[in-house]
């Protein structure tokens, strides 16, 4: 039975990898329509031949890795179950009579460490790839430090969630998902509140923007948009990446407007103001609150589906998966597998909603700063800095792009400009 499950999973994974390889490396999807060749949307206009070559190569490898990594993770979860490793991790707990959170901590540490080690080569290759193509500037020790910090943050938050989750499953095996979903609301809001002041500074150093003249102009834009902001923060990213970014993070009194120093160093003032106006568009359009509401709804729906699927899978395949009952901690890899699959399957919808919100933010930025040329040059610089595809293949766009493609964003600027004229 175990051998059959393992061979079937490997064959399916092999077929999937082959299909995705052919689609990404040998299909004719993507490219620039003939009508747009030679325009500001054409990468041949604003990128050198070398940049174009690197962008095409890097994008294909990066996209292929994305589509392989998540199903490979499912394979790891399946391996942990069918080989009995999950049961072994549970049996190795030395504190059988201690509190549930201590027992869960030992099990989760063993599980997390095993997954971290197995997936490390893939993570390292992604880092190596980014460094080879000039996106990452981070030295290995710094990258490893970020990985270790991420491991412990993930471990801590997951431990709280898992302990509460299995307590709820023990109390009510059929209705646990309702209470779990409701408890995720305050927990998620709490994490969003503390992220800018507790979590983010563990990875990077944040300072008030040193260019006070630029800060004044950004805060003037914020005042025009009726956004209560007193400071703009600069984060030192030069030692980690050549990519560009700016964002608004946190909620309530802990919300922050943040600019990467790479953005400050590479973009002109008008381009930076456009980016800031874009971020303000998210605030004005209340996207963060729609995002919280959407997250809560999808979390509850996902937990409901997981609560339906887990008992069915255990009843049908429990013997082969070495799972005795749903409320045993060794069933956790199955929970992770199901939720990971649901997240992957729902990503086209969540990305579509995100792209709509990003389009709205672009439109708002154009109204606020009224500088379409700055918008176009910003999109061009973002493409060059990240070696991004201007018009990726359809599946890549559906599953990977939370922002509109650069082709769409530049076309939208042109359309907005024509509408005003």
Give pLDDT, residue 26: 86
Is the pLDDT at 150 greater than 90, yes or no?
Answer: yes
Give pLDDT, residue 247: 82
Give pLDDT, residue 1: 60
Contacts of 38-43 with C-beta under 8 Å, sequence gap 24+, read 40/376, 40/380, 40/410, 40/414, 41/390, 41/406, 41/407, 41/410, 41/411, 41/414, 42/390, 43/383, 43/390
Lowest mean pLDDT among 264-268, 289-293, 313-317: 289-293
Instruction: Reply yes or no on whether 279 is catalytic.
Output: yes
CA atoms within 13 A on the CB side of 141: 0
Give pLDDT, residue 196: 83
Percent of the chain past pLDDT 70, that is, above it, reads: 95
Give pLDDT, residue 123: 96
Separation between Cα atoms, residue 31 and residue 389, nearest integer Å: 9
Give pLDDT, residue 104: 86
CA 372: distance to chain centroid? 29
Separation between Cα atoms, residue 194 and residue 114, nearest integer Å: 29
Q: Tokens for 40?
A: 């500001």
* Marked catalytic residue, from 73, 279, 358, 408: 279
For the chain, what are the domain ranges? 2-205+285-420
Give pLDDT, residue 188: 83
List CB contacts of 61: < 8 A, sequence separation 6 or more. 129
Each residue's pLDDT tens digit, 319-373: 888 998 888 899 999 999 999 999 999 999 999 999 999 999 999 999 999 899 9
Each residue's pLDDT tens digit, 233-263: 899 999 999 999 888 777 766 677 889 999 9
How sure is the predictor about 190, in pLDDT bands with cuts at 50, 70 and 90?
Answer: confident
List CB contacts of 404: < 8 A, sequence separation 6 or more. 355, 358, 359, 362, 412
């Amino acid at each position: 039975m175990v051998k059959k499950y393992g061979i079937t999973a490997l064959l399916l994974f092999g077929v999937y990898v082959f299909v995705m390889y052919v689609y990404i490396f040998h299909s004719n999807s993507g490219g620039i329509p003939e009508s747009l060749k030679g325009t500001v949307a054409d990468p041949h206009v604003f990128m050198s031949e070398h940049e174009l070559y690197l962008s095409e190569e890097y994008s294909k490898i990066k996209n292929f890795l994305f589509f392989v990594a998540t199903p490979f993770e499912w394979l790891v979860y399946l391996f942990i179950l069918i080989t009995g490793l999950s049961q072994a991790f549970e049996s190795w707990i030395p504190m059988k009579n201690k509190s549930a959170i201590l027992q869960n901590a030992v099990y989760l540490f063993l599980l997390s460490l095993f997954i971290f080690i197995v997936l490390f080569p893939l993570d390292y290759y992604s880092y190596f790839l980014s460094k080879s193509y000039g996106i990452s500037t981070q030295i290995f020790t710094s990258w490893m430090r970020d990985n270790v910090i991420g491991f412990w943050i993930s471990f801590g938050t997951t431990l709280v969630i898992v302990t509460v989750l299995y307590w709820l499953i023990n109390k009510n095996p059929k209705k646990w998902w309702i209470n779990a979903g409701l408890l995720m609301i305050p927990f998620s809001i709490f994490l969003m509140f503390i992220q800018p002041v507790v979590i983010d500074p563990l990875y990077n150093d944040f300072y008030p923007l040193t260019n006070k003249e630029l800060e004044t102009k950004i805060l003037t834009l914020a005042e025009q948009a009726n956004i209560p902001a007193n400071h703009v923060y600069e984060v030192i990213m030069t030692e980690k990446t050549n990519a560009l970014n700016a964002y608004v993070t946190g909620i309530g009194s802990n919300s922050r407007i943040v600019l990467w120093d790479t953005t400050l160093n590479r973009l002109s003032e008008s381009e930076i103001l456009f980016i800031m106006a874009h971020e303000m568009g998210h605030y004005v359009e209340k996207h963060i609150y729609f995002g919280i509401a959407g997250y809560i709804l999808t979390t509850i729906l996902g937990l409901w589906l997981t609560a339906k699927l887990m008992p069915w899978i255990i009843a049908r395949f429990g013997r082969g998966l070495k799972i005795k009952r749903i409320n045993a901690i060794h069933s956790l890899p199955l929970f992770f597998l199901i939720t990971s699959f649901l997240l992957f399957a729902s990503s086209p919808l969540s990305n579509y909603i995100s792209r709509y919100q990003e389009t709205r933010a672009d439109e708002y930025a154009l109204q606020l700063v009224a500088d379409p040329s700055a918008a176009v040059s910003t999109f061009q610089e973002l493409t060059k800095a990240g070696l991004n595809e201007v018009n990726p293949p359809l599946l890549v766009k559906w599953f990977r792009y939370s922002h509109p493609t650069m082709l769409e964003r530049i076309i939208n600027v042109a359309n907005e400009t024509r509408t005003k004229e």
